[in-house]
Structure 1
């Protein structure tokens, strides 16, 4: 029996971020960094070309916002979200903040685009698999309880949102915004940094990364985590307003009796999706790019060999998949941006 928790997630997050800052620590005093641990993962903020005072003030404001989001929308510790879940379970209509109502409306839209493979309403399944805990408990759900949730089929479309009033046609809905909140936080971070006059920054929340401006005369550059090795799978430049999101079976998982069980659950079967090791999407500049980078990586990961259909559903042309057997597939648009290390496995380019 093997468990992978906080240490593994932090190592993966640090590796993704490494190439963006590795040359700056000793030679560029205008590059400022702050780190924290929020959303169950490591957060790294980097600001370029500003005074230490302004950079520290802006990054502190971002970290305060991250802490607020973490506490407000926590899936199992007391929060506005757990209060809403309790009301739904009782068959009641709850009054929520305008922010939460907007987030849920947006999550409904993204869920529909992904044919409900992105499904924040299935918090009960996530809890059954032991992922509603800071340290994972390696266990398989009770088959009867799992089947009951599958038959109830909670979906985001079950929610009825009228202004700040939220109810559900289905009391089995149990909301978990873990596949949405990090991306939303990226968008909030960019808004805060811009309001503070910051023009060049990089925000990394456990491998979900968004770029603001550039680093001097060059774009920000980062590495994509290899799902099975402690090194980058590939590197690429990230330009102003772009965001990257990766869903991987190495981020939150446990091993039991020699089998890997990740937190990325297939709502159709109720079990972990196992056809893919990692799925990365690059979102070109658009409104809500950070949020999309988080939510839109889930359906293609779960879809397995049919992954390209789901990236198209979200209007994403830059994507990369590492299949369960380690084979790498990448869209033509993203292949032109990537640099693979020598000796890498063969890559299949898809349209």
Structure 2
């Protein structure tokens, strides 16, 4: 999918629009990976601006490697040369390994090889019809991330013929994690990066923790939950921004890799965990699972908490959610 700059702010940092060194915070915005990235950091003005610049450059480098629509990217080449081993960078290799891990951990609810099925839908081309069950089944046989082969010794990877990978559900989290590391190396101790529905927090402001807001998926601008947070990743998957309507039916852009059809058992899912890459992937996976199956999965993991809005608009929280956000 060729992304566009989206106004996706299902999870966001609540703060004024800080300018240069106002209240000790510097804010910058950039369109990266098809989303609006917001960087806010605290410290010496010159050091912070340089750190954000370097972080932005690092994200662009990752994007150039893992974009599925940019000719010449490593993911593009993997798709174009399906059935052959392709030389890849450490970034792409690491992302493929994480994607395979997330696929296994979620029993297939997260799968970067959904590309062949996703392309059947009119998410990019509105003139396309909704695919038939037969068309979906024909492409569904090529969806299985466990079949991605990785040769770490030679830094190469291969996907089966007719398979197509798309890093959309995991790459932003990975890139933001890389950006945070770059900023830490530049001496930044307190920063926040927001990328669409995902927020990554390093430390906290000198005036206190970062304030996070989760948007109501059916009421733009209305918050479901607000809380203070530091040193964590908060990722939201939702159908509130990206969907199409056909004959009165809503088709969200997040597909269930097990059926090839839009996941429809949730309106939004917010995940809290430490690793930004996995937060991104888990939010997608739990959205696909839905409230009942998703909460059962989250409760088995001590390192993950979730807030789920089910298909009826009812809110469900994992047992440790309120503890993590400081409401208990």
Settle same-fold status: TM greater than 0.5: yes
Q: Deviations over 1:29-69 (max 9, x none)?
A: 31100001112111100012x12211110111111122222
* Alignment correspondent of 1:232: 223
Are residues 1:119 and 2:111 paired?
A: yes
Structure 1 Cα separation of the partners of residues 118 and 265 of structure 2? 19
Contact 2:255 2:261 in 1 (8 A): yes
Q: Root-mean-square deviation (CA), in Å?
A: 2.5
Task: Please report how far the alpha carbon of residue 137 of structure 1 lies from its aligned counterpart in structure 2 after TM superposition.
Answer: 6.0
* Alignment correspondent of 1:318: 305
Structure 2 Cα separation of the partners of residues 136 and 16 of structure 1? 27
- TM-score for the superposition, normalised by structure 2: 0.90
Structure 2 Cα separation of the partners of residues 167 and 207 of structure 1? 30
Q: Which of 17, 38, 43 is equivalent to 1:44?
A: 38
After superposition, the Cα gap between the structure-2 partners of 1:23 and 1:66, relative to the gap in structure 1 and judged at 3 Å, is closer
* Alignment correspondent of 2:78: 84
Please, which runs of 5 or more residues in structure 1 have no aligned partner? 341-351
After superposition, the Cα gap between the structure-2 partners of 1:181 and 1:313, relative to the gap in structure 1 and judged at 3 Å, is farther
Structure 1 Cα separation of the partners of residues 93 and 324 of structure 2? 37
Contact 2:113 2:142 in 1 (8 A): no
Q: Deviations over 1:91-130 (max 9, x none)?
A: 2222222221221112111110000110001111121123
* Alignment correspondent of 2:59: 66
Task: Please report how far the alpha carbon of residue 86 of structure 1 lies from its aligned counterpart in structure 2 after TM superposition.
Answer: 1.4
Structure 2 Cα separation of the partners of residues 198 and 302 of structure 1? 36
Task: Please report how far the alpha carbon of residue 186 of structure 1 lies from its aligned counterpart in structure 2 after TM superposition.
Answer: 1.8
Contact 1:296 1:311 in 2 (8 A): no
* Alignment correspondent of 2:294: 307
Structure 2 Cα separation of the partners of residues 56 and 103 of structure 1? 28
Contact 1:74 1:81 in 2 (8 A): yes
Task: Please report how far the alpha carbon of residue 313 of structure 1 lies from its aligned counterpart in structure 2 after TM superposition.
Answer: 5.3
- TM-score for the superposition, normalised by structure 1: 0.84
After superposition, the Cα gap between the structure-2 partners of 1:280 and 1:111, relative to the gap in structure 1 and judged at 3 Å, is same
* Alignment correspondent of 1:186: 176
Structure 1 Cα separation of the partners of residues 176 and 53 of structure 2? 15
* Alignment correspondent of 2:12: 17
Are residues 1:108 and 2:95 paired?
A: no
Q: Which of 269, 282, 286 is equivalent to 1:296?
A: 282
Contact 1:113 1:314 in 2 (8 A): no
After superposition, the Cα gap between the structure-2 partners of 1:269 and 1:204, relative to the gap in structure 1 and judged at 3 Å, is same
Task: Please report how far the alpha carbon of residue 319 of structure 1 lies from its aligned counterpart in structure 2 after TM superposition.
Answer: 0.9
Contact 2:268 2:309 in 1 (8 A): yes
Structure 1 Cα separation of the partners of residues 203 and 92 of structure 2? 29
The 3-state SS of whatever aligns with 1:332 is coil
Contact 1:199 1:212 in 2 (8 A): yes
Instruction: Give the stretch that moved more between structures: 259-268 or 188-197.
Output: 259-268
Are residues 1:331 and 2:318 paired?
A: yes
Contact 1:138 1:256 in 2 (8 A): no
Structure 2 Cα separation of the partners of residues 82 and 6 of structure 1? 18
* Alignment correspondent of 1:345: none
Please, which runs of 5 or more residues in structure 2 have no aligned partner? none
* Alignment correspondent of 1:344: none
Structure 2 Cα separation of the partners of residues 252 and 138 of structure 1? 16
Corresponding residue pairs, total:
321
